[in-house]
Structure 1
Amino acid sequence: MSAEIIDGKAFAAKVRAKVASHVARLKADHDIQPGLAVVLVGEDPASQVYVRSKGKMTVEVGMNSYEHKLAADTPEADVLALIERLNNDADVHGILVQLPLPDHMNEDLVVNAVDPAKDVDGFSISNVGLLATGQKTMVPCTPLGCLMMLREHHGSLSGLDAVVIGRSNIVGKPMAALLLGDSCTVTIAHSRTKDLPDVVRRADIVVAAVGRAEMVLGDWIKPGATVIDVGINRIDAPERGEGKTRLVGDVDFDSAVDVAGAITPVPGGVGPMTIACLLANTVTACSRANGLKEPEGLTV
């Protein structure tokens, strides 16, 4: 029997609808309009597409979108000065610095220059520390989206055995912290974990975020487990024609779908949730900044 497919596109649409509803209430009841500022340095094609998508969806949910596009050779000091202006702008409630940055910039320095209360990516060292110690914070968007989908599917996660494959600061580590916060028993595994398949087979929940195409095979999965595939990998697809490619996750979907109880596809699984959670974080930041009740179901 095939696994239930967790539809990230549909779930993200529900999240955006909740955001739009809360934005409308902020406008009607308090004359407040949340604002998201995105800083893009350079001309990376993927980043440009992503920023356009963020701007479009920000406007669609009723928020203000502020885009700051800078040349690749912009001095680091100018970027830091821009972030300082945005930190002090009362109309801006969320700030996102699109990564990667050009090589001449100190990424950690730039990211940590963002006011933690406006750091809707949740990447600043202050927010990382707050998350690790179980305090109120801005949660990184991709792990937040994964947690939302897991809560929707399972209800309570308490007592479940979870394995996170991947130890990045962006997904793996914050994902583990969130699962701990929901009372899972959590193992962080990675490419050097001994007997990795056996470790994964113990898990009721598998979050794959290791960045290797189709690395996690179906026979690694415990029957009935929930599989959240964060990976986005482009591989050759000669069956589609010469030079063609396709997107796959870190999980071998075709073999895992017959074993898992539920699984996210790639594309169409975790990916759409990332921007939806960015919007959710922005409206949460706006509510906090104005001393108002946070939107239900959009944060931890």
Structure 2
Amino acid sequence: MKEFNAQEQSSATVIDGKAFAQKLRHEVGSQVASFVGAHGRPPGLAVVLVGEDAASQVYVRTKMRQAEEAGIASFAHRLPAVTTEAELLELIVALNADERVDGILVQLPLPDHIDEGGVIEAIAADKDVDGFHPRNVGRLATGESALVPCTPLGCLLLLQDRLGDLTGLKAVIVGRSNIVGKPMAQLLLKAHCTVTMAHSRSRNLADECRQADILVVAVGRPGMIGSDHVKPGATVIDVGINREELGEGQSRLVGDVDFAAVAKVAGAITPVPGGVGPMTVACLLRNTLYAAQRRESARQKASELDVSTKGVAGEPG
């Protein structure tokens, strides 16, 4: 991507998340083919959808289709909204034990009568391709190997593609959710950025944001970030997806950033749609492959250990 030069252009480079995601899916597909050749099976992804939420159904169809295109075996479990928490947990226990399944994703939100936290904790941590299990959250926070939430992972990959080495850059994250804001901070810290977390109640928010070389916004408020929040030349990642009603039954998707205004100041910016969104699904496929590779590696190590220790203690007398 061409670097921003204020003398050459008056608007930011638009970061094409859709194109990058397509490239990532192709890379995952190539690695999946190698995995199948080595292990005689494809990685497996189980997606669980409870209820009839229209947006969730679209997301699930997209995930399943792209998984299959990458050579990943997909297992869809569509349950009615009246499914009890006990029934859902029973399914998760079965999927945890299913050798065909390397990754389990329970599509959120769940119906109100089901405890999301309990469901997330029931998923085996090594199959938690959403990266929401407390064990994976803890591993990420302590710098250990972990399955990482897909959206912040996608943001990091876009930033590294745009900027290369992120060491020493000042990053400001607006939003403190467990899904995006907090894991994004951990990833950027691991990349050696200086990180500030801000949110809707931060004082002097615009002043904080203007310090950033990297500005990541995930608050769910359309157009909250304007040109006065952005340092000239900064890279802006807009995670927000909001539906704006235009009247007469028409609507459009917009981000948390006022794109038209900020594009005149920033060095680079992700659009909505077409920015971070496609990266989320691509990173889900990447996580599923990674989970499969880790499981096979652990299985191989266990097999080697079993062989090396046979007979060590001798036969019982």
Q: TM-score, normalised by structure 1?
A: 0.95
Instruction: Give the structure 2 partner of residue 273 of structure 1.
Output: 279
**2:168: which partner in 1?**
159
Q: How does 1:288-299 map to 2 (within 5 A)?
A: 288-291=294-297
Q: Which is further off, 253-262 or 26-35? A: 26-35
Map residues 189-200 of structure 1 onto 2, 5 A cutoff.
189-200=198-209
Cα offset for 1:218? 1.1
Q: Tell me, in whole angstroms, the C-alpha distance in 2 between the residues paired with 1:182 and 1:32.
A: 34
1:282 to 268, 288, 306: 288
**Counterpart residue number, 1:297:** none
What secondary structure is seen at the aligned counterpart in 2 of 1:291?
helix
TM superposition shift of 1:2: 1.1
In 1, Cα distance between equivalents of 2:131 and 2:181: 13
* In structure 2, distance between residues paired with 1:184 and 1:32: 39
CA distance in structure 2 between the partners assigned to 1:29 and 1:44 by the alignment: 39
**Corresponding residue for 1:38?**
47
Alpha-carbon distance in structure 2 between the residues aligned to 1:84 and 1:20: 28
> Is 1:243 aligned to residue 249 of structure 2?
yes
Equivalent-residue separation in structure 1 for 2:141 and 2:116 (angstroms):
21
Paired residue secondary structure (2:167): coil
**What is the CA–CA distance in structure 1 between the aligned matches of 2:112 and 2:245, rounded to whole Å?**
29
1:32 positional shift? 2.5
3-state SS, counterpart of residue 219 of structure 2: coil
Deviation at 1:224? 0.3
2:113 is aligned to 104
- Determine which of 113, 125, 130 is the counterpart of 2:122: 113
SS in 1 for 2:93: helix
* Alignment-derived partner of residue 4 in structure 1: 13
* Aligned 8 A contact 1:161 1:185 in 2: yes
Match of 1:260 in 2: 266
Matches of 1:251 and 1:265 in 2, distance apart?
Answer: 9
State the alpha-carbon separation in 1 of the partners of residues 85 and 249 from structure 2. 38
Q: Which amino acid aligns with 1:34?
A: P
Shift of 1:29: 2.6
5+ residue gaps in structure 2?
1-9, 299-317
In 2, Cα distance between the equivalents of 1:147 and 1:91?
A: 30
Alpha-carbon shift at residue 184 of structure 1 (Å): 0.4
1:189-241 deviation line (CA, Å, top 9, x unaligned): 00000000000000000000011000000121000000000000111224xxx
Given the alignment of the two structures, is residue 212 of structure 1 paired with residue 221 of structure 2, yes or no? yes
Return the alpha-carbon distance in structure 2 between the equivalents of residues 138 and 63 of structure 1: 17
Larger-Rg structure: 2
User: How high is the TM-score relative to the length of structure 2?
Assistant: 0.90
Q: Take 1:80 and 1:29, find their aligned partners in 2: how far apart are those partners?
A: 33
Partner SS state of residue 297, structure 2: coil
For residues 221-269 of structure 1, the C-alpha deviation after alignment (integer angstroms, 9 at most, x for no partner) is: 000000000000111224xxx2211111000000100110010000000
**Could you tell me how far apart the structure 1 residues matched to 2:225 and 2:84 are?**
42
- What value does the CA root-mean-square deviation take over the aligned residues? 0.8
Q: Whole-Å Cα distance in 1 between the matches of residues 57 and 253 of structure 2?
A: 19
Quote the offset at 1:47 in angstroms.
Answer: 0.5
For 1:237 and 1:111, the matched residues in 2 are separated by 37
Which amino acid letter does the alignment assign opposite residue 256 of structure 2? D
Structure 2 residue 57 is the aligned partner of structure 1 residue 48: yes
The amino acid across from 2:125 in the alignment is P
CA–CA separation in structure 2 for the residues paired with 1:54 and 1:147: 20
For residues 228 and 210 of structure 1, what CA distance do their matches in structure 2 show? 12
Aligned to 2:233: 224
The reply to whether residue 93 of structure 1 matches residue 99 of structure 2 is: no
CA contact (8 A) 1:231 1:250 kept: yes
Q: Which runs of 5+ in 1 are unaligned?
A: 293-300
Sequence identity percentage: 61
CA distance in 2, matches of 1:104, 1:186: 37
- Range that drifts further, 196-205 or 25-34: 25-34
Moved over 3 A (4+): none
Q: What is the letter of the counterpart of residue 269 of structure 1?
A: G
Letter in 2 for 1:116: A
| Secondary structure of residue in 2 paired with 1:210 | coil
Question: Is the contact between residue 19 and residue 283 of structure 1 (CA under 8 Å) also seen in structure 2?
Answer: yes
Code of the residue aligned with 1:66 in structure 2: it is F
